[in-house]
Amino acid sequence: MEQAMQSIIDIINDFLWSKLLIVLLIGGGLYFTFRSRFLQFRLFGEMLRVIRESKSSEQGSISPFQAFAISMAARVGTGNITGVALAISLGGPGSVFWMWIIAIIGSASSFIESTLAQIYKIKDRKTGGFRGGPAYYMELGLKKRWMGAVFAILITLSFGLVFNSVQSNTITVAFENSFGFDRLNTGIVMALIFAVIIFGGVKRIAKWSELIVVVLAVLYVGAALFIMLANIAQLPEVISVIVKSAFGYEQAAGGALGAALMNGIKRGLFSNEAGMGSAPNAAATATTSHPAKQGLIQALGVLIDTLVICTSTAFIILFTGAYKQTGLDGIELTQAALGMQMGPWASDFLAIMILLFAFSTLLGNYYYGETNIEFLNSRRIWIWIYRICVLGMVLFGSVTSVKLVWDMADVFMGLMAIVNLIAIMLLSRIAFAALKDYTAQKKAGKDPVFTKDSIAGLDNVECWDESPDRTSPDRTKTA
């Protein structure tokens, strides 16, 4: 059964990733980069300023920083550790270079989709907060509910089910490798703990995410920094290997460039999610004065995820040379690399860390599915069915093969990205207009505030009529 599934998935993946997705991801990212006048460089300082000032929020609402934490909970996880190792083992060190490229241009794509999610968010009548995302801007912005429904189904299947099986797979493989734990038993315990948490709702998810992601990211990057400093003399050589391998200079095989490019883009997209349409679901929940603020925060998240955390994994593996050993891939490769530098205890420490990393990702993934089920049908029975299916896929991922779950993830994230990239290209003029409004207010020395009439002809917008009047004192507050 598993072999038959693998064969079908391989065929679909070859079709999706051969040309179409490469063109959309890179072409779309470059278009957004040029149209925004390289916002990922030009407004980098503004990104840092906005996130630094966004930690507080009204009681009962989700702050911009908490929305950022939810999206980072889904971004920062096995993609940063297992995914990077898989990319290097399959595509060589050059995959890291293409991860960097897709993150830099994808940062602009993330700005567009997250800004649109804020503009077209709606009031959640049950919680009093906000919800939104690609399904909502497809329905309200493009006036194509059918397209939003297709995306809602895809993201629910992708994040709630398939991607969560990737997380559980990585956890159980890591614990089996380090401690000899039975994978099914580990999966059962994990599913039980997760079942308790997911009944707490989005506010509890935000609190867990904000705490777990920050602590884990600091610890993991700290370990990578220690290894890099201990081997600093090798840094020029490692950078050289990455760049040369990216273009196939050091490989005799004709497919070396293609393998590095493909694996770098696949694993980069899985990790940072730029243009995939997932982070906008979290971005929409934030209470903020201007949609572009959340767009800038999410654009920064893409850069942090890949250029800092994914690069940390890459350096751990490349500095140690562990990738040259045969028979190692995924989490086992990263564990071996850490063990070579820091001793056997480091492999066990990473297993514990990957449990917490992946668990935080389970939380973020779960929320993405829930908010899109509510888009399709608000009856609570569907949420309960979804929760049962999520727990089932956590168990499935805990015992199945590494290759199957990652190839399934490639199929579903590819389908999601196609639908979302088409939508944000069609709606990008709205996001560019919001960015123009934001920068104009900043130049005037104001704290930017957005209302429905900030963009001429903007319709089907529910929440921004409730923003402060454009002539209010808040509008002229000095940043």
Of the listed ranges 83-97, 118-132, 137-151, 459-473, the one predicted with least confidence: 459-473
pLDDT of residue 254: 45
Q: Give the mean model confidence (pLDDT) for residues 311-321.
A: 84
Residue, of 320 and 389, whose pLDDT is higher:
389
pLDDT of residue 77: 63
Query: Which are the contacts of 436, defined by CB distance < 8 A and separation ≥ 6?
Result: none
Q: Which residue has the tokens 């001793």?
A: 343
CB 479 within 8 A of CB 444: no
Largest Cα–Cα separation, the chain = 66
108 pLDDT exceeds 80?
Answer: yes
pLDDT of residue 144: 93
Q: What backbone torsions phi and psi does residue 62 show, to the nearest 5 degrees?
A: -95, 120
Residue type, 173: V
Of the listed ranges 100-104, 298-302, 314-318, 361-365, the one predicted with least confidence: 361-365
The number of beta carbons lying within 10 Å of the beta carbon of residue 247 is 14
| pLDDT cut 70: percent of the chain above it | 81
CB 354 within 8 A of CB 114: no
Indicate the pLDDT class of residue 113, thresholds 50, 70 and 90. Answer: very high
CB 82 within 8 A of CB 351: no
Of the listed ranges 49-58, 141-150, 200-209, the one predicted with least confidence: 200-209
Residue type, 58: E
Altogether, the residues listed in the chain come to a count of 479
190 pLDDT exceeds 90?
Answer: no
CB 84 within 8 A of CB 310: yes
pLDDT, tens digit, 9 for 90 and up, residues 404-436? 888 888 888 888 889 999 999 999 999 999 999
What residues pair up with 123 in beta bridges, in sequence order? Answer: 130
Closest alpha carbon to 264 in 129, 469, 98, 70: 98
28 pLDDT exceeds 60?
Answer: yes
Of the listed ranges 133-137, 233-237, 346-350, 448-452, the one predicted with least confidence: 346-350
Task: Delineate the domains of the chain, giving CATH numbers in brackets.
Answer: 2-476 (1.20.1740.10)
pLDDT of residue 5: 78
Q: Give the mean model confidence (pLDDT) for residues 186-203.
A: 77
| pLDDT cut 90: percent of the chain above it | 20
User: How far is Cα 295 from Cα 437, in angstroms, rounded to an integer?
Assistant: 13
64 pLDDT exceeds 90?
Answer: no
pLDDT of residue 146: 94
* Parallel, antiparallel or unpaired: strands 122-123 and 130-131: antiparallel
CA torsion angle for 223, 225, 231, 234 (degrees, to 10)? 130
Q: Give the mean model confidence (pLDDT) for residues 309-326.
A: 82
pLDDT of residue 419: 93
Indicate the pLDDT class of residue 471, thresholds 50, 70 and 90. Answer: very low
Q: Give the mean model confidence (pLDDT) for residues 305-315.
A: 84
Residue type, 199: F
pLDDT of residue 253: 46
Of the listed ranges 64-68, 93-97, 329-333, 418-422, the one predicted with least confidence: 64-68
Of the listed ranges 108-112, 118-122, 362-366, 430-434, the one predicted with least confidence: 362-366
pLDDT of residue 467: 47
Q: Give the mean model confidence (pLDDT) for residues 330-338.
A: 78
Q: Which two tokens stand for residue 249?
A: 């200079």
Of the listed ranges 267-271, 352-356, 471-475, the one predicted with least confidence: 471-475
Q: pLDDT averaged over the chain?
A: 80
pLDDT of residue 299: 92
* C-alpha pair distances (Å), 465 with each of 175, 188, 454, 459, 462: 51, 47, 10, 11, 7
Residue, of 381 and 82, whose pLDDT is higher:
381
What residues pair up with 62 in beta bridges, in sequence order? Answer: 286
Indicate the pLDDT class of residue 310, thresholds 50, 70 and 90. Answer: confident
Indicate the pLDDT class of residue 470, thresholds 50, 70 and 90. Answer: very low
4 pLDDT exceeds 60?
Answer: yes
Q: Give the mean model confidence (pLDDT) for residues 48-76.
A: 64
75 pLDDT exceeds 70?
Answer: no
